[in-house]
C-alpha cells in the first residue's frame, strides 16, 4: 500500500466488538437503553422503522483493514440494470426447497424463475454478524436469563442453546433458541407437532442471517417476556416462518 502507515488492531483500530462495546457504554451514560447497532461489512442492516437510529440502515463502509492493519478501499457496486419484468406471484416449493416466482413484462408475457435459500449461507453470514456482539453483553444477558427461568432449564440452555416453556393460557409449547427463531409446538399425550417459527428482532437484524443487532440471549429474553406478557402481541409482531423454510433455522 505504498508508504502508508500500518495500523495495529486493538491499538490504532477497533474491532467491531470493541466499537459496539464503546457505543453501548456511551449510550448507557446518556441513559439510552437501546445502544446503537454496528453495521457489518457485507451485511444489510435492517432496523425497526420507528427506531431513532433508523438512518444507520443506509450506512455503507468505505474501507476496511485486514488483520495486519493494511487499509483496503471498498468500491460501491454499480446500480442494477432496470428490468422489464415484475413479480406477480410466488410460492414455496417444499419438495425442491425453492421459491418459485412468476414474472410479467410490460406486454404481459410471463416467465418464471426460482430463488434458492441456502441454510449454510445463513449460518456463515450469522457468524459474520457475531463479530459485532461484545461478549460482555452476552454474559450479562445470560445472568439475567438465569433469574427468569428454572435452574434446570437454564442449565439446558447453557448446554444446548435451547429451552422450552409451556404457555398456561394457550397450552402451546415454545422452544426458545439462541440465535434462531422461536419454534412453537402443540403437544398432547400422543403427538407433538410444530406450528411455525416466530422470528422477531426488537430493534433490528442483519439481512439474510439469524442475527439480531442485540446479542442472542437478549433476544431470547425479549421473546420469553413477550410470550409471557401477551402471546397475541408476540404472534402479531413476529414473522411466522413455516418450519420447512431455511429462514426457520431448523
The answer to whether residue 169 sits within a structural domain is: yes
Say yes or no to pLDDT of 97 above 80.
no
**Residues 195-204: what's their mean pLDDT?**
90
| Stretch (H or E) spanning 173 | strand 173-177
Identify the pLDDT of residue 1. Answer: 42
The boundaries of the domain holding residue 97 are 86-116
The answer to whether residue 151 sits within a structural domain is: yes
* Residues 125 and 105 occupy one common structural domain: no
* Residues 93 and 154 occupy one common structural domain: no
Range in 8-22, 86-100, 187-201 the model is least confident about: 8-22
* Residues 100 and 167 occupy one common structural domain: no
DSSP classification of residue 54 = G
Per-residue burial over 94-116, b = 16 or more CB atoms within 10 Å of its CB, e = otherwise: eeeeeeebebeeeeeeeeeeeee
Range in 19-23, 162-166, 183-187 the model is least confident about: 19-23
Any alpha helices (H) in 65-204, and if so which ranges?
A: 119-129, 135-146, 151-160
Alpha-carbon distance of 248 to 85, in angstroms, equals: 29
Identify the pLDDT of residue 4. Answer: 55
- In this structure, what C-alpha cell is assigned to residue 97? 426447497
Q: State how many domains the chain has.
A: 2
Amino acid at each position: 500500500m505504498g508508504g502508508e502507515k500500518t495500523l495495529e488492531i486493538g491499538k490504532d483500530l477497533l474491532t467491531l466488538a470493541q466499537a459496539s462495546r464503546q457505543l453501548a457504554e456511551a449510550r448507557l451514560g446518556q441513559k439510552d437503553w437501546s445502544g446503537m447497532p454496528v453495521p457489518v461489512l457485507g451485511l444489510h442492516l435492517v432496523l425497526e422503522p420507528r427506531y431513532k437510529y433508523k438512518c444507520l440502515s443506509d450506512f455503507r463502509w468505505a474501507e476496511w483493514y485486514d488483520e495486519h492493519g493494511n487499509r483496503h478501499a471498498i468500491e460501491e457496486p454499480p446500480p442494477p440494470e432496470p428490468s422489464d419484468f415484475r413479480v406477480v406471484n410466488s410460492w414455496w416449493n417444499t419438495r425442491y426447497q425453492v421459491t418459485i416466482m412468476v414474472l410479467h413484462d410490460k406486454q404481459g408475457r410471463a416467465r418464471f424463475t426460482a430463488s434458492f435459500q441456502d441454510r449454510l449461507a445463513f449460518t456463515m453470514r450469522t457468524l459474520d454478524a457475531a463479530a459485532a456482539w461484545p461478549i460482555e453483553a452476552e454474559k450479562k444477558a445470560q445472568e439475567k436469563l438465569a433469574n427468569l427461568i428454572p435452574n434446570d432449564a437454564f442449565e439446558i440452555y447453557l448446554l444446548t442453546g435451547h429451552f422450552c416453556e409451556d404457555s398456561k393460557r394457550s397450552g402451546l409449547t415454545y422452544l426458545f433458541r439462541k440465535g434462531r427463531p422461536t419454534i412453537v409446538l402443540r403437544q398432547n399425550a400422543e403427538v407433538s407437532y410444530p406450528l411455525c417459527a416466530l422470528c422477531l428482532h426488537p430493534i433490528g437484524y442483519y439481512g439474510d442471517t439469524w442475527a439480531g443487532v442485540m446479542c442472542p440471549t437478549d433476544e431470547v429474553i425479549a421473546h420469553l417476556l413477550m410470550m409471557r406478557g401477551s402471546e397475541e402481541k408476540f404472534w402479531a409482531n413476529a414473522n411466522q416462518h413455516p418450519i420447512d423454510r431455511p429462514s426457520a433455522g431448523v
